[in-house]
Amino acid sequence: MRSSADQLGGIALSVVRIVVSFMFVLHGAATLFGVLGGAFGQQGAAAPIGQWPSWWAGLIQFVAGGLVLLGLFTRPAALLCSGAMAYAYFSVHQPRGLFPIQNGGVPAALYSWIFLLIAVLGAGPFALDALRHQLRQPPERVEAHTRER
C-alpha cells in the first residue's frame, strides 16, 4: 500500500511532466510551423525542412516532447529531449559565457535537467505508460477471491 506522500509525489511528477512537456511542444511548433511567434524570433518564420540543427531540434521538441506530454514511451523520449537540450546548451549557449544567466542558456539547461529527471523517475501515474502497464498485468483471479469467502 502506498503512502499519501508517495501518491502526492506521483501526482506532482505527472503534473510537472505535463506542464514542462507542453511548453516544450510549443517551442517545437514555433520552430516547425512558424506559429506562436515563429522560429528564430521572427513572426511566421519556420525553420527550413532538414536544416541542422534548428529543424531537427524543432522535430525533437514537437514529437518527443509530445510523447512525454502523453506519457507514452516517456523514459526514452525524455532522455532524447534532455540530450537535445544539453547539446543546445553546450553548442549554442556555453560558448557565449560561463554561466547560464550570462549566456542565455537558462531555458536549455532547465529543460535538460527536468527531462533527465523525468527519464529517471518515469511518467508518474497520469500517463499512457501507466495505462499500458496496467493492461499488461494478468487479470486477478476472481475464482480465488470468491473461494476465500
Q: Which pLDDT does position 58 carry in this prediction?
A: 96
Q: Which pLDDT does position 145 carry in this prediction?
A: 45
- The residue whose grid cell reads 506521483 is 10
**Amino acid letter, residue 19:** V
Supply 84's cell numbers.
Answer: 537535445
Q: Which pLDDT does position 1 carry in this prediction?
A: 59
C-beta separation of 24 from 18 below 8 A = no
Separation CA 94–CA 98 (nearest Å): 6
Q: Give the list of residues 6+ apart from residue 16 with CB closer than 8 angstroms, or none.
A: 114, 118
Q: Which pLDDT does position 38 carry in this prediction?
A: 84
C-beta separation of 14 from 125 below 8 A = yes
Q: Which pLDDT does position 144 carry in this prediction?
A: 47
Give the tens place of pLDDT for each residue, 28-48.
999 999 898 888 778 888 988
Closest C-alpha among 77, 80, 29 to residue 55: 29
Q: Which pLDDT does position 17 carry in this prediction?
A: 98
**Between these two residues, 44 and 97, which has the higher pLDDT value?**
97
Give the tens place of pLDDT for each residue, 70-94.
999 999 999 999 999 999 999 999 9
